[in-house]
Amino acid sequence: MTATRTMGYGMIAKLLHWSMAVLILISLCAIEFKDFFPKGALRHAVVAWHFQMGLCVLILIGVRITWRIKNPAPPIFPSLSKMQSLAATTAHVALYALMLILPILGVLTRQSRGNDVDFFGHVLPAILDEDSGLPYALKIKSLHTYLGDVLMWLIAVHMLIAIFHHMVRRDNTLSRMLP
């Protein structure tokens, strides 16, 4: 292994981490702040950004999980206790799971109400139509919204912990992930 490899995450891992962070933040801002926009075409376009960015996350998460399985994380110096490593791994697995599940639930939320899901001009095939999905529409939407809130909190904690590692513990956790 080369020195650079042992020091930090590889270029692909960093690219996936930061591009997906941006996509998720745009998607979340679009849906959380949609009410600031007047009803009509503009608000519609803002909400469409939530869908489009979320679908990009769905495409990239497959690549990211495959890449991660094949490429172990670089070591942290000074090293973490077993409990700290376990907590970090649990949080990372939860982040990966939510990045996979949320866009799927989002698609099902739309389709269960009989709405098309458009991805940059291509209508996705329907897994649920209004007939089969309507009885579950409210539950799917609540689950999507609830897990979306869980992801937001998890991201906030994840960011604070990254800053804590850098500023207080003064280890290389954050610098391994920086471009």
Q: What residues make contact with ligand HEM under the rule CB under 6 A?
A: 17, 21, 24-25, 27-28, 31-32, 50-51, 54-55, 57, 68, 73, 88, 92, 95-96, 99, 102-103, 106-107, 109-110, 117, 141, 144-145, 148-149, 151, 155, 158-159, 162-163, 173-174, 177
- Strand bridging mode 118-119 / 122-123: antiparallel
The CB-of-125 to ligand HEM minimum distance in angstroms stands at 13
The CB-of-170 to ligand HEM minimum distance in angstroms stands at 13
Q: Who contacts 74 (Cβ-Cβ below 8 Å, separation ≥6)?
A: 5, 6, 7, 8, 9, 176
- Chain centroid, CA 81 distance in Å: 27
Please say which residue, 2 or 10, places its beta carbon nearer to ligand HEM. 10
Write the DSSP symbol of residue 19.
H
Upper half-sphere CA count for residue 37 (Cβ side, 13 Å): 15
Please say which residue, 15 or 73, places its beta carbon nearer to ligand HEM. 73
The CB-of-156 to ligand HEM minimum distance in angstroms stands at 9
Please say which residue, 126 or 151, places its beta carbon nearer to ligand HEM. 151
The CB-of-145 to ligand HEM minimum distance in angstroms stands at 4
**Cα separation of the two ends of the chain:** 20
Check: CB of residue 124 under 8 Å from CB of residue 117. yes
Please say which residue, 35 or 132, places its beta carbon nearer to ligand HEM. 35
C-alpha closest to that of 99 among 174, 173, 9, 27: 27
- As a whole number of angstroms, the distance between CA 47 and CA 36 comes to 12
Check: CB of residue 95 under 8 Å from CB of residue 154. yes
The CB-of-73 to ligand HEM minimum distance in angstroms stands at 4
Please say which residue, 68 or 169, places its beta carbon nearer to ligand HEM. 68
Please say which residue, 32 or 132, places its beta carbon nearer to ligand HEM. 32
The CB-of-158 to ligand HEM minimum distance in angstroms stands at 5
